[in-house]
Amino acid sequence: MVQMNLFMFKTLKNDLPASIVVFFVALPLCLGIALASGAPLFSGLIAGIVGGVVVGALSGSKIGVSGPAAGLAAIVLTAIGTLGGYQNFLVAVVLGGIIQIVFGLLKAGIIGYYFPSSVIKGMLTGIGIIIILKQIPHFFGYDAEPEGADSFIETSGENTFSAILNITDNITMGSMVIGLIGLAILLLWDKVLSKKGKIFQIIQGPLVAVVLGIIFYVVTQGSNLGIAQTHLVSVPIPEDLDSFIGQFSFPNFAAITDSQVWIVAFTIALVASLETLLCVEATDKIDPNKNVTPTNRELLAQGTGNIISGLIGGLPITQVIVRSSANIQSGGRSKMSAIIHGFLLLISVVLIPKLLNMIPLSVLAAILLIVGYKLAKPGLFKKMYDMGWKQFVPFVVTVAGIVFIDLLWGIGLGLLVGIVVILIKSYQNSHFLHIEDKSNGKHKIKMTFAEEVTFFNKGAILKELESLPKDTYLELDVRKTRYLDNDIIEILEDFAFKAKERNIDIQLISERGTVENPDSFIEFFKLRPKSA
């Protein structure tokens, strides 16, 4: 524990700048998701603060960031009406957190390992595309839809594409100008200045863009480029301490006997847990340091966060891919970046809400456009196509589902197609892995893979590899293997990266001979003859 704390403070030079970027990404999303949920605006900020400070501290993820999630907005909106008010709904949030803790104690976190890699990559790409599509109107000053929405059909009555087509009739000139300036600064910082000196790495481009956005708003007031309040961040401004405290809501526990409250609680727990586990899988996949997040601990952390959020009037919390990917892209190294971002939200809404309300939404849209592009780079489509139809079809279905319906539907459709593909091309072999202890004074383990190994076996193989002690000699025999799922190959690739730190030597035995400590499992298996 002491070593972990020292590591977190050692990486503060990376985490502090990253936390500022995550703060600017999280602020409009917290407010927008609260608005889309039909909840008080302050409830979104509460969830963001609790997700950063409490869940960030308890989670085992080094780079994951939690807060209110767009995927739950429709559930929240319906539940508030069904349960007869927001205070009754908060009871469901608290109970949902308790149910999540039970999930964690029952070790339900392993479910996350059974989502195929193609669906996870499709989720990342789909979210990247939807971020770009949803932020384009905000970038031009057309703010009819709240920030953070991810459904194809929008609350304004438009859909994702019709909103973009209607931009030309709704451009706010000042918002567009400062949006373009902000985007130019972000690109300049990312491509040029960040490589010129440490000062440009400490002071992040998004911070400069936001500061210029505030200055632009102040200077242009009353001119043709002036920006109206409707196109700015809208943080609630309390007049005094009593009015600030009055923004908190508390559960009406008299409603705990209502069966509908328990149904909503279980729905929140199930959906929030699935979103979190999927986000954990996705963030671990794009983490440059290949950290493995303990999923059961994550459920315990999320459950605790939801209990606290519900008790003080906050929305339900999940780990969120948009904030997490912004954290990774900005160089976050430890959980300190998530925790600091939570404190920044708290400090800013208490001390400088009027200053926050001078930030143009178009500048924050520019930041999110960069985040979205990095998640959905066009080259990934070609890469997935080259990997074969078994990877490409679930990937494309997931992307299409997210863009044309919403996040949960996209993941569900992608998973369904992924399972069908696997059932068509292979079967689950219960004898997929044979382990033989050949130790004679030194740890020597032999693992023999069966003829067919699919993503259904991912969790068990990952568990066995993670349990290997240090200073082990691992013989990995794949001579009988005719079908090895891409998910398993990626697990082996990530394990080879971590094995060097644990002094584990790997001997790969295949029909082509024996390889000591292969440089890349992905490259090795590319060269193998494809199965029929």
Given the structure tokens 């400069």, which residue do they identify? 208
pTM: 0.81
Q: Give the per-residue pLDDT at 347.
A: 93
Q: Give the per-residue pLDDT at 292.
A: 86
| Neighbouring residues of 530: CB distance < 8 A, sequence distance ≥ 6 | none
Q: Give the per-residue pLDDT at 90.
A: 97
Q: Give the per-residue pLDDT at 309.
A: 97
Q: What is the CATH number of the domain that holds 466?
A: 3.30.750.24
> Based on the domain organization, do 142 and 19 belong to the same domain?
yes
Is 275 within the bounds of a domain? Answer: yes
> Based on the domain organization, do 87 and 152 belong to the same domain?
yes
Is 532 within the bounds of a domain? Answer: no
> Based on the domain organization, do 35 and 142 belong to the same domain?
yes
- Where a domain ends, among 324, 352, 370? 370
Given the structure tokens 């892995």, which residue do they identify? 433
> Tens digits of per-residue pLDDT, 81-121?
999 999 999 999 999 999 999 999 999 988 877 788 889 89
Is 531 within the bounds of a domain? Answer: no
Is 124 within the bounds of a domain? Answer: yes
| Cβ atoms 308, 55 nearer than 8 A | no
> Based on the domain organization, do 118 and 197 belong to the same domain?
yes
| Cβ atoms 374, 102 nearer than 8 A | no
Integer Cα distance of 493 and 370 in angstroms: 28
> Based on the domain organization, do 421 and 466 belong to the same domain?
no
**How many Cα neighbours within 13 Å face the side chain of 136?**
15
Given the structure tokens 């799922």, which residue do they identify? 485
| Neighbouring residues of 211: CB distance < 8 A, sequence distance ≥ 6 | none
Integer Cα distance of 211 and 208 in angstroms: 5
Helix (H, G, I), strand (E, B) or coil at 44: helix
> Based on the domain organization, do 311 and 414 belong to the same domain?
no
Integer Cα distance of 47 and 305 in angstroms: 8
Amino acid at 252: N
**At 41, which helix (H) or strand (E)?**
helix 41-50
> Based on the domain organization, do 413 and 363 belong to the same domain?
no
- Where a domain ends, among 370, 397, 415? 370
> Based on the domain organization, do 179 and 304 belong to the same domain?
yes
Is 503 within the bounds of a domain? Answer: yes
- Where a domain ends, among 390, 425, 460? 425
Is 143 within the bounds of a domain? Answer: yes
- Residue 466: count other Cβ atoms within 10 Å of its Cβ: 13
> Based on the domain organization, do 447 and 417 belong to the same domain?
no
Amino acid at 298: E
For the chain, the domain total comes to 3
- Which residues of the chain are modeled with pLDDT < 70? 1-9, 423-436, 438-442, 527-532
> Based on the domain organization, do 14 and 69 belong to the same domain?
yes
> Based on the domain organization, do 365 and 384 belong to the same domain?
no
Is 365 within the bounds of a domain? Answer: yes
> Based on the domain organization, do 14 and 75 belong to the same domain?
yes
Give the structural domain span for 497: 433-526
